[in-house]
Amino acid sequence: MKRRNFTKRASAIMAGGLLAGPSLMGASRYKRYISPNDTLQIGVIGCKGMGWSNTRSMLKMDDIDLIAISDVDKNVIKERVEHYKEFRENKPEIYEDYRNLLSNPDIDAVIIGSPDHWHCKMMVDAVQSGKHVYVEKPLANSIEECKIMVEAAQKTGKVVQVGQWQRSGVHYKKALEIVQSGVLGKIRLVKVWAYQGWMKPVPVLPDSPVPEGVNYDFWLGPAPKRAFNQNRFHFNFRWFWDYAGGLMTDWGVHEIDIALWVMKAVSPVSVMATGGKLAYPDDASETPDTLQALFQYNDFNMLWEHATGIDNGPYGRREGIAFIGNNGTLVVNRGGYEVLVEKKARGYGKTEEGKMAPIEAFERPKDANYLDYHTQNFVAAIKANDPSILNTPIASGSLAAINAQMGNIAYKTGRKVYWDEANGKFKKDKSASAMVGVKYNNGWELPRI
């Protein structure tokens, strides 16, 4: 499709410049009304993995143009600029420092695809700069950061969608309706899991020089200062505590989000977890390759489990959520759902034969792209200027991330921890409560709202 050519915008912003601390105050006062017929102009911060997947999804919409790219790896930027030519004719502005991108008043919304430890700072800066935000999951790398991000979104009123795109899947909504109808009976246990057979051991590598074109100090940002190691960079950052929370937060937030949404739950009474590097004890990863975490809520339990290197998860599925009731169990994953009926029902919905009436299974249509539905929902909310229509608003993304972080904290302490919702910390447990917060390093400061 032929697109209009964009002229290069006159600006005092130096593309790619790394400033000590560019001011965002001017941009924070910039409020452009976006009508339903306007072309939405977006920027992407962190475009190696999901940042670019989200960008490509949005570019399927004719009323979206990418006008800015920021990444600390010039090699990645070069690839993305070439790839972008397949979508549009304009040439996006290039920024090494994301704060310079946020100072560009022509940008309406940004996609944040950076490593987890950067999400909070970038998202808060973005909404304070007047930008709407699509931020990758998990929302943040600590409970404290999640709460700061929610407060920033509420205070600025900007549209913030979290990349937990399963919420935009039609069959997940249908599964919610079935569970909440009561036909399954009392739900006593929810199982959530991710078995990832594709994950092989991460080989131990020595520290090495920083690759040419990479601003490694900026990549580290608020994380502790460390020598460059290829294992900690790009995709594998997920398996190191400095930057992320392993599969518990990487995959866990997707599945836990659905469980909490369906069960209308917020926070657990207690959490306990056990596991470790049981499959690959000598590989380079820090986070556990095998983990079980048991969350106790007021009227049901939730069991999370993950395992790397194998695919045979519960109910023969490599990932999913199972709502286990007195009458039957609904099992849902990205491929669809099915309901397993108990031999004898003991409550609402049973037939004359004493069993629950069967419910037809659902298989996700092959052409149903739930990520596309999710980005379309984000754009619709921006054009309606209505965050309430978001499928995964920041409050929901925060709940999933906070619960997942609690699972990791229980694992790190090695004991059962009890949550104090009113005070935002663990009861009578100073070491567990200390993990609620986060320390920023290298001169970076935790955002304050």
pLDDT surpasses 90 at 268: yes
> Which pLDDT score is estimated for 349?
59
CA distance readout (Å), 385 to 122, 351, 377, 395: 22, 47, 12, 17
Residue 413's contacts (CB-CB under 8 Å, 6 or more residues apart) are 429, 431, 432, 435
CA angle 266, 334, 197 (to 5 degrees): 100
Average confidence (pLDDT) over 149-165 = 97
**Sheet arrangement for strand 93-95:** 93-95, 64-70, 40-45, 109-112, 132-135, 160-162
The DSSP string of 250-285 is: HTHHHHHHHHHHHHT----SEEEEEEES-S-TTSS-
> Which pLDDT score is estimated for 335?
97
CB 413 within 8 A of CB 270: no
Main-chain dihedrals φ then ψ at residue 111, nearest 5 degrees = -105, 130
414 burial (CB, 10 Å; 0-12 / 13-18 / 19+) is exposed
> Which pLDDT score is estimated for 449?
87
**What are the tens digits of pLDDT across the range 401-426?**
999 999 999 999 999 999 999 999 99
Would you place residue 291 in the very low, low, confident or very high pLDDT band (cuts 50, 70, 90)?
very high
Q: In 3D, which of 263, 247, 272 has the Cα closest to residue 194?
A: 247
> Which pLDDT score is estimated for 356?
83
**What are the tens digits of pLDDT across the range 187-229?**
999 999 999 999 999 999 999 999 999 999 999 999 999 999 9
Would you place residue 347 in the very low, low, confident or very high pLDDT band (cuts 50, 70, 90)?
low
Measure the CA–CA gap between 283 and 268, rounded to whole angstroms. 33
pLDDT surpasses 70 at 10: no
**What are the tens digits of pLDDT across the range 17-51?**
333 345 454 444 445 567 667 889 999 999 999 99
Question: Where are the strands (E) in 277-390, listed by range?
Answer: 290-296, 301-308, 319-325, 328-333, 336-341, 362-363
Q: In 3D, which of 121, 184, 210 has the Cα closest to residue 349?
A: 184
> Which pLDDT score is estimated for 16?
32
pLDDT surpasses 60 at 2: no
**Average per-residue pLDDT for the chain:** 91
Parallel/antiparallel/unpaired status of strands 319-325 and 187-196:
antiparallel
Question: Where are the strands (E) in 167-235, listed by range?
Answer: 187-196
> Which pLDDT score is estimated for 350?
60
Q: In 3D, which of 55, 140, 162, 124 has the Cα closest to residue 390?
A: 162
CB 327 within 8 A of CB 179: no
**What are the tens digits of pLDDT across the range 80-120?**
999 999 999 999 999 999 999 999 999 999 999 999 999 99
Domains and CATH numbers, the chain: 25-166+376-394 (3.40.50.720), 170-368+398-434 (3.30.360.10)
